[in-house]
A and B are shown apart, each in its own frame.
Chain A
Amino acid sequence: MAERSRNGGEGAGARERPIGRVMAQVAMVMNLDKCIGCHTCSVTCKQAWTNRSGVEYAWFNNVETRPGQGYPRTYQDQERWRGGWVRRPDGRLVPRAGGRIRRLATIFANPVMPSIQDYYEPWTYDYDTLTNAPLGDDFPVASPRSALTGKPMKVEWSANWDDDLGGGPELAAQDPIVRRLGDRVKLSFEETFMFYLPRICEHCLNPTCVAACPSGALYKRVEDGIVLVDQDRCRGWRMCVTACPYKKVYFNHKTGKAEKCTFCYPRVEVGMPTICSETCVGRLRYLGVVLYDADRVGQAASVEDEKDLYEAQLDVFLDPSDPAVRAAARRDGIPGRWVDSAVRSPVYALAKRFRVALPLHPEYRTMPMVWYVPPLSPVVDALSGTGHDGEEADNLFGAIDTLRIPVEYLAELFSAGDPAPVDLVLRRLAAMRSYMRRVNLGQERDESVAAAVGMTGSEVEDMYRLLALAKYDDRYVIPTAFGVDESDRGVIDEVGCSLDFDGGPGMGGMGDVPFGEASGRPEAASVETFHALRERQTGDGAAGEGAGGDGRDATEGRVNLLNWDGNGRPRGLFPPRRGGGTDNGGKRGPGPEPRDGGRT
């Protein structure tokens, strides 16, 4: 309360409300018009964070085709999955799955946790067959094996099984939004539309997952708003999985702990974009700082009409150019370079200045911080399909009015069903196309096109620069973390990855540990690999013959092919000889006919 009474002062006479506690959030915007659904973000994210056993099924970043069921299947159906918050008649917010008492009463078995089948059962292939199959007429096939049981399984679903509307009307009709809109969404090939929706954790301002964690392991970082799980405090109660309406907290079934998108904080801390942003082929992701008034979050999240949530959230954002905001930020300990960075933030520009980015499912009342520029392409495609000029402003405006279905669908995603904000965005995008075409054709700038959507020509050109040219430095405006020196920009603390110790989950397997997988003390990763590498590079022996050759550690005999000089027959590189043959040199054991014996 004391903070509320303190005003920022200087030159903020017109401001009605005093500025509460100013906090900074590193947020993201994705421009859906540019997403080609290539899944590069998902794959690089998986390589960076979830290529470990226990989270095979987890995709911190996934790309889903809309209309479609999403991942996990139908996660948007909150009547079933009970994620997010609900507003009680008295105006207070409680997690939809229940408040504190209810959480603890159901702690022994979470009643609405998705099962692995709702994501998909992870699998690998029996690659061994390819090399070990006896000589025969049929080409050996690596059949799928469940990663949970090791047993043969039938692959029936995965994270993007209904990609590109695969599975057709049968699968797409299960989309919770399609079900809500009813028959109006046509799923026949000629009449349908589709676009891609890449999703990561929303790093919400009002995160339900944090609220639902009985152990207090989930937290929102004060400095940059990233929502993280403290792995040492998580006790595996699984309430966060239910609470997250986006189903972006995953349960690692090997370690028994929750894991989630980290917003690649080791990279963001040193001013680098997240992996998914960095590797995005369409260059559709934007990262930047947004300053917001933390004292107003609760109030904004609990406005009565869910259609007002979008405006309420915009209202929580603070204008970093406003001197009063800058003073308040200084008061609350936000470094000057963060405020300066916020001024250049593409996220703030797209969300608040140009108003072309919208939050995903604001009706969940979590105040998500990964926003989306809805795609104009379904409209343009439909327009071009009818032989009209898809870049003429009037045509586009008319089409936005006529083609209600894509607009209504987008509104269900981005504005709690209110078509007006989506309408405005699509009109602005259409106006930008039309305005810039005149510029590119060397015609006169037509201010009326910009004015028709409430912008000026120079604003349209700024927006064009950000959306269409999208230079690297314009897309990613990330200040280095509070404690990190600017000169450390781009330098990642290599020792920091806690899972990559030798034999740890980051290196594939834990070996024999006392209390189940992933328990026990890690060894220092960099020292270990440093010595191993030096030994390989300077030693005369074959790889894997070095120190510690008693075979105690399963990973010790593993050969890094990049380091292998072709010398000898390293342990673990080839399958053991048959018939008890010794493993040295090229001498064959007295086993059966070698498989390659038929070659002449």
Chain B
Amino acid sequence: MSGFGPADLLLWGVLPYVVLVLVVGGLVWRYRYDRFGWTTRSSELYESRLLRIGSPLFHFGLLVVIAGHVVGLLVPDTWTRALGVPDTLYHVTALSLGLVAGFCTLAGIALLIWRRRTTGPVFSATTRNDKLMYAVLVLAILTGLGMTVYFAGVELAGGHTQDYRETVSPWFRSVWVLQPDIAAMAAAEAPYKLHALMGLALFTLLPFTRLVHAFSAPVGYLFRPYVLYRSRDQHPAGAGQAERATRRGW
């Protein structure tokens, strides 16, 4: 369990914490500094025909993909075995569900990017920040989906591939308890490492791009009354809510 070099130490022992600090710190900073810029920056006003197909395809696909990652990374294989789920069944389910969701996500984002490039107003509203974000997002999806396709192919052909639940997942869980199992991740195959790095890059971008809207998923809407009243004096200017002078709302 000690077979890792200094590069592994940096990538899997140090980098995750750097990313974590950047994400948490970035979110706090942006919330305090730029609450006004915290938005989806929707372009539906310009074009809605393609968006109405592409956006739900991408977002719902992504939600399934995220759920898959949560299960795969956070639930140890011993738990699923204890529940009586055979490994084969687990992997077949994960691969098939992952393939469908992954292709939906990819198709969705492909459509969205095509729309963004070809619809004049949408393209002129695209910032460099957006372009960087799209590049990283697409790479993360491509590496993940490519890996899934490759492994599914190998398994179908009767071969055998490495189980991420013995390498990536233990490392991922160990990061959160501040005892990174660097050796486990160092032992993972190269595609896993590449995909993990793309994931870390994407996480880093979360607070600093429009992706930040993911953190304002309006779950509270389900539980509040329809009509909201607010008092005029509830948020006096300079009450320290945010560093900026409070904008008067309209």
A residues whose Cβ falls under 8 Å from a Cβ of B: 49, 95, 100-101, 103-104, 107-111, 113, 115-116, 146, 148-151, 206-207, 210-211, 213-224, 228-238, 251, 253-257, 259-260, 262, 265-266, 269, 481-483, 496-499, 513-516, 518-522, 524
Verify if B221 is at the interface (C-beta below 8 Å from A): yes
State which of B5-13, B43-51, B87-95, B145-153 sits at the interface with chain A. Answer: B43-51
Q: Is the CB of A235 within 8 A of B216?
A: yes
| Candidates B35, B60, B208, B244; contact of A514 at CB < 8 Å | B208
| Candidates A108, A148, A149, A235; contact of B218 at CB < 8 Å | A235
Q: Is the CB of A232 within 8 A of B249?
A: yes
- Nearest to B53 among chain A residues (CB) is A109
| Candidates B52, B120, B233; contact of A111 at CB < 8 Å | B52
User: With A100-B222, A108-B56, A255-B36 in contact, do A211 and B232 touch (Cβ < 8 Å)?
Assistant: no
| Candidates A100, A113, A482, A524; contact of B245 at CB < 8 Å | A524
Give the residues in chain A near B231, CB-CB below 8 Å.
221-223
The distance from the CB of B222 to the nearest CB of chain A, in whole angstroms, is: 5
- Nearest to A253 among chain B residues (CB) is B45
Q: Would you give the 0/1 interface string for B195-234, flagging 1 where the beta carbon is closer than 8 Å to chain A? A: 0000000000000111001001010111010111111110
Give the residues in chain A near B249, CB-CB below 8 Å.
217, 228-232
Q: Is the CB of A515 within 8 A of B209?
A: yes
The distance from the CB of B55 to the nearest CB of chain A, in whole angstroms, is: 4
State which of B69-77, B121-129, B168-176 sits at the interface with chain A. Answer: B121-129
- Nearest to A201 among chain B residues (CB) is B250
- Besides A113-B48, A497-B248, A514-B129, 19 other CB < 8 A contacts? A108-B58, A109-B56, A115-B44, A211-B226, A230-B249, A235-B40, A236-B42, A238-B42, A251-B44, A253-B45, A255-B39, A259-B250, A260-B250, A262-B250, A266-B248, A498-B246, A515-B210, A520-B33, A521-B244
Q: Is the CB of B245 within 8 A of A498?
A: yes
Give the residues in chain B near A259, CB-CB below 8 Å.
250
The distance from the CB of B83 to the nearest CB of chain A, in whole angstroms, is: 30
Q: Which of B44, B46, B247, B249 has the most CB of A within 10 A?
A: B249
Q: Is the CB of A108 within 8 A of B59?
A: yes
Q: Is the CB of A101 within 8 A of B222?
A: yes
Q: Is the CB of B228 within 8 A of A219?
A: yes
Give the residues in chain B near A109, CB-CB below 8 Å.
44, 48, 51-52, 55-56
User: Which 9 residue pairs across A and B have the least CB separation, nearest first?
Assistant: A519-B37, A214-B218, A211-B226, A498-B247, A148-B121, A256-B39, A256-B41, A236-B39, A219-B230
User: With A148-B120, A483-B233 in contact, do A108 and B60 touch (Cβ < 8 Å)?
Assistant: yes
Verify if B242 is at the interface (C-beta below 8 Å from A): yes
Q: In the bound complex, how far is the Cα of B250 from the Cα of A218, in angstroms? A: 8
Verify if B38 is at the interface (C-beta below 8 Å from A): yes
Q: Is the CB of A223 within 8 A of B232?
A: yes
Q: In the bound complex, how far is the Cα of B55 from the Cα of A37, in angstroms? A: 42
The distance from the CB of A262 to the nearest CB of chain B, in whole angstroms, is: 4
Q: Is the CB of B34 within 8 A of A515?
A: yes
Verify if B155 is at the interface (C-beta below 8 Å from A): no
Q: In the bound complex, how far is the Cα of B30 from the Cα of A521, in angstroms? A: 11
B residues whose Cβ falls under 8 Å from a Cβ of A: 30, 33-48, 51-52, 55-56, 58-60, 120-121, 123-125, 127, 129-130, 208-210, 213, 216, 218, 220-222, 224, 226-233, 242-250
Give the residues in chain B near A497, CB-CB below 8 Å.
248
Q: List 8 A-B contacts (CB under 8 A).
A: A107-B218, A108-B58, A220-B228, A221-B229, A222-B230, A229-B249, A253-B121, A515-B208
Chain A binding surface, main DSSP class: loop
- Nearest to B249 among chain A residues (CB) is A230
Q: In the bound complex, how far is the Cα of B221 from the Cα of A234, in angstroms? A: 13
- Nearest to A257 among chain B residues (CB) is B39
Give the residues in chain A near B227, CB-CB below 8 Å.
206-207, 210-211, 220
Q: In the bound complex, how far is the Cα of B233 from the Cα of A482, in angstroms? A: 9
The distance from the CB of A222 to the nearest CB of chain B, in whole angstroms, is: 5
Q: Is the CB of B228 within 8 A of A210?
A: yes
| Candidates A210, A224, A229, A520; contact of B226 at CB < 8 Å | A210
Q: Is the CB of A521 within 8 A of B45?
A: no
The distance from the CB of A298 to the nearest CB of chain B, in whole angstroms, is: 9
Q: In the bound complex, how far is the Cα of B40 from the Cα of A151, in angstroms? A: 26
Give the residues in chain B near A101, CB-CB below 8 Å.
222
The distance from the CB of A111 to the nearest CB of chain B, in whole angstroms, is: 7
Give the residues in chain B near A108, CB-CB below 8 Å.
55-56, 58-60
User: With A149-B124, A235-B40 in contact, do A221 and B230 touch (Cβ < 8 Å)?
Assistant: yes
The distance from the CB of B218 to the nearest CB of chain A, in whole angstroms, is: 3
- Nearest to A250 among chain B residues (CB) is B45
Q: Which of A146, A482, A498 has the most CB of B within 10 A?
A: A498
User: With A216-B221, A498-B247 in contact, do A256 and B229 touch (Cβ < 8 Å)?
Assistant: no
Give the residues in chain B near A211, CB-CB below 8 Å.
226-227
Give the residues in chain B near A522, CB-CB below 8 Å.
244-245
- Nearest to B30 among chain A residues (CB) is A515
Give the residues in chain B near A110, CB-CB below 8 Å.
44, 48
Q: In the bound complex, how far is the Cα of B234 from the Cα of A220, in angstroms? A: 13
The distance from the CB of A323 to the nearest CB of chain B, in whole angstroms, is: 27
Q: Is the CB of B124 within 8 A of A116?
A: no
Give the residues in chain B near A498, CB-CB below 8 Å.
245-248
The distance from the CB of B181 to the nearest CB of chain A, in whole angstroms, is: 36
| Candidates A103, A210, A251, A266; contact of B45 at CB < 8 Å | A251
- Nearest to B46 among chain A residues (CB) is A116
The distance from the CB of A304 to the nearest CB of chain B, in whole angstroms, is: 20
The distance from the CB of A117 to the nearest CB of chain B, in whole angstroms, is: 9
Q: Is the CB of B221 within 8 A of A518?
A: no
Give the residues in chain B near A266, CB-CB below 8 Å.
248
Q: In the bound complex, how far is the Cα of B235 from the Cα of A483, in angstroms? A: 13
Q: Is the CB of B43 within 8 A of A231?
A: no
- Nearest to B44 among chain A residues (CB) is A113
Give the residues in chain A near B44, CB-CB below 8 Å.
109-110, 113, 115, 238, 251
- Nearest to A207 among chain B residues (CB) is B227
The distance from the CB of B47 to the nearest CB of chain A, in whole angstroms, is: 7
Q: In the bound complex, how far is the Cα of B243 from the Cα of A108, in angstroms? A: 31
Q: In the bound complex, how far is the Cα of B48 from the Cα of A269, in angstroms? A: 39
Q: Which of B46, B59, B230 has the most CB of A within 10 A?
A: B230
Q: Is the CB of B242 within 8 A of A104?
A: no
User: With A108-B60, A253-B43 in contact, do A516 and B232 touch (Cβ < 8 Å)?
Assistant: no
- Nearest to B121 among chain A residues (CB) is A148
Give the residues in chain A near B233, CB-CB below 8 Å.
482-483
Give the residues in chain A near B224, CB-CB below 8 Å.
216
Give the residues in chain A near B229, CB-CB below 8 Å.
219-222
Q: In the bound complex, how far is the Cα of B232 from the Cα of A151, in angstroms? A: 43
User: With A149-B124, A232-B242, A482-B233 in contact, do A518 and B36 touch (Cβ < 8 Å)?
Assistant: yes
The distance from the CB of A559 to the nearest CB of chain B, in whole angstroms, is: 27
Give the residues in chain B near A148, CB-CB below 8 Å.
46, 120-121, 124-125
Q: In the bound complex, how far is the Cα of B59 from the Cα of A501, in angstroms? A: 36
